[in-house]
A = this chain, B = another copy of it.
Amino acid sequence: MNTVTAPGLRERKKQRTRDALVRAALELFTTQGYEQTTVDEIAAAVDVSQRTFFRYFAGKEDAALAAQRLAVDHFVAALSARPAQEAPLEALRRAVQDGWDTLHEVVESVVPIELYLRMYRVIESTPVLLAAYLRSATETEEQIARLIAEREGLDVDTDPRPRVAVAVFGGVIRVTERLWSAGDDFSVEALRALTSAYLDQVGPALAAEWRTA
């Protein structure tokens, strides 16, 4: 029960199995495609039964999004670490940049970064996966909205601004993710630059008259 004690053999074995399943899944998804890969194949690649796969993951989607979830959690942690006096949108923006700086170490513990990046294309081009990803994104947005509200000492249920700000931010992030995964330059730097540029366009986009600018 002691969470400080080093995990025993059983725990380590579980972690290894889970990681191996994620790696095998992503490898197969990125090479043959998501729909073309069966759960039996993934399980066989790790030499466990199909039943065991479903004990580790709620479904095929869950395994496919495992690495992205890691990254998202990492980003949320980065946000929590931002100083409280920062303005909400500034904190969000910097948290994303901070998150990318250290993303490598977090992701690499489970899958190669390159596999993680390639998986983005698969998600974006597989309808059912994209759907699951978007749903998970809205859950994250709610979580972040509460975090922002807390920072500012507001009640998320009476003040609309936390949820609105996060929705705006999240909307732009998703646009950039989509454009990035559809483009040629598939580097983290490219995504970083794109996000930065698009966040700068929120003001102009909300201006009443675009032609005068």
**What is A's interface to B at a CB cutoff of 8 Å?**
87-90, 127, 130-132, 134-135, 138, 152, 154, 160-165, 167-168, 170-172, 174-175, 178-179, 197-198, 201-206, 208-211
Contact = CB atoms under 8 A, between A and B. Distances in A.
Contacts of A90: 208
* Oligomer: number of copies: 2
A167 B175 contact: yes
A174 B131 contact: no
A175 B125 CA distance: 25
A172 to B, nearest CB: 6
Interface centre among A127, A163, A198 (most CB of B within 10 A): A163
A201 B138 CA distance: 19
Contacts of A132: 131
A58 to B, nearest CB: 10
The CB with the most chain B CB atoms within 10 A, among A130, A167, A204, is that of: A167
Nearest to A165: B205
A168 B163 contact: no
A161 B205 contact: yes
A85 to B, nearest CB: 10
B168 A206 contact: yes
A132, A171, A179, A197 interface centre (most CB from chain B within 10 Å): A171
B161 A172 contact: no
A135 B65 CA distance: 16
A167 B171 contact: yes
